[in-house]
A = this chain, B = another copy of it.
Amino acid sequence: MNPTLVEVLRGGALESHHAGAVAVIDADGGVLAAVGDIDRPIFPRSAVKALQALPLVESNAAERLRLNDDELALACASHNGEPEHVRTAAGMLAKAGVDASVLECGVHWPYLDTVAREIAARHEAPTALNNNCSGKHAGFVCLACALMGWNDSGLNLRQYVRGYVAPEHPVMLEVTDALQATTGFDLAHAPRGIDGCSVPTFAIPLRHLALAFARLGSGVGLREGHVRAARRLRDAVARSPFMVAGTGRFDTRVIERLGERVFCKVGAEGVYCAAVPEHGLGVAIKVDDGNNARAAEVAMAAVIEALLPLNDADASFMRGFSDLTLRNWNGIAVGALRASDALRRALPARPDSRQTSV
């Protein structure tokens, strides 16, 4: 059983609690903190989109198609489906010479309710561009341009990418190779599932996911093409944090505030990964219940607070995510959502602290 990472209080009493596991790892695989079981393989879902985007840069597709910061950040995104995200995804596809009809991610209403209601108010329906994964998929299509040898015909690209979400498609083989190389985990023997957007998702232990993010942030232990690609993607996200999530979202707000000091990324089912480049550390979190992002965000905020030296204003900003007041429909304070003492105690006060286990 994993320990409680996050508590939900109402009227001063414990209402709900979220158990889970946290790994904080350096690029050599050294364990700075291990809370709960960090060796059970878990599906990282969208938390590893930046790893899945490495081939887009390594292949030179990003450079040749002149993908800009917004577009590369969107390739790493689980976005809100806001108009800026939709336009940017469409722009990536246009640079590859195709349109949204090649996307195989499926369609859903935008995550952000206000945007969904704006679409409804125009009596329109969402498209695949509104899918939170449309940027990742547009990146896959751009990668395909390189993999097929830069045949310039849009018709041929359209044929080439058909079925690109299948594990054995050349695009997905490249993406899986990047996951394998960065995590150092044997994906050929890992449990494999299908993600919400239909691409494969491999179950990988938190220890290996955190290692991959330590490498993503530091370059240490990555092959040359991935060093360059990781740097380019991190820079893009630091300069275009809106693209990686959107209005009001944790990843956007934290990266807007802390810039290149943190690259954090949410995944479905309670997963969070982050790179903390200045200390060469990677973080991976899984909340056991996986129900939505509320607990994983709180835990990630507490981890960032513990790992990064922050000025008072930044510390207070992060505390607003790790220990927050819950309000009801009338705006009355009814409770709190906060990182557990068990989690805070298990985190290193400084990145050079010794390993702590719970």
Contacts and interface: CB of A to CB of B under 8 A. Distances in A.
A288 B109 contact: no
Interface in A280-302: 287-292, 294-295
Given A16-B289, A113-B116, A291-B292, A193 B335 contact: yes
A340 to B, nearest CB: 13
Nearest to A109: B113
Contact of A329 (B1, B15, B116, B197): B197
A: interface residue count bin: 35 or more
A158 to B, nearest CB: 18
Given A16-B269, A113-B109, A330 B198 contact: yes
Nearest to A11: B193
A306 B197 CA distance: 36
B291 A16 contact: yes
A259 interface: no
A194 to B, nearest CB: 4
A192 B43 CA distance: 38
Given A193-B10, A269-B8, A198 B289 contact: no
A172 to B, nearest CB: 15
Contacts of A334: 193-196
Interface string A129-162: 0010000000000000000000000000000000
Contact of A116 (B117, B192, B291): B117
Interface stretch (A68-76, A100-108, A213-221, A310-318): A100-108
Identify which of A108, A116, A196 gathers the most chain B CB atoms within 10 Å of its CB: A196
Interface string A7-37: 0101111011111000000000000000000
Interface stretch (A53-61, A84-92, A118-126, A349-357): A118-126
Contact of A120 (B11, B106, B121): B121
A42 interface: yes
B328 A289 contact: no
A192 B335 CA distance: 11
29 contacts: A1-B1, A8-B290, A10-B43, A10-B201, A11-B191, A11-B203, A13-B203, A15-B42, A15-B43, A16-B269, A16-B270, A17-B288, A18-B291, A19-B19, A106-B331, A113-B116, A116-B116, A116-B117, A116-B120, A117-B119, A117-B120, A121-B123, A131-B329, A193-B334, A194-B332, A196-B334, A198-B329, A291-B292, A291-B294
Interface of A: 1, 8, 10-13, 15-19, 41-43, 104-109, 113, 116-121, 123, 131, 191-198, 201, 203, 269-270, 287-292, 294-295, 328-332, 334-335
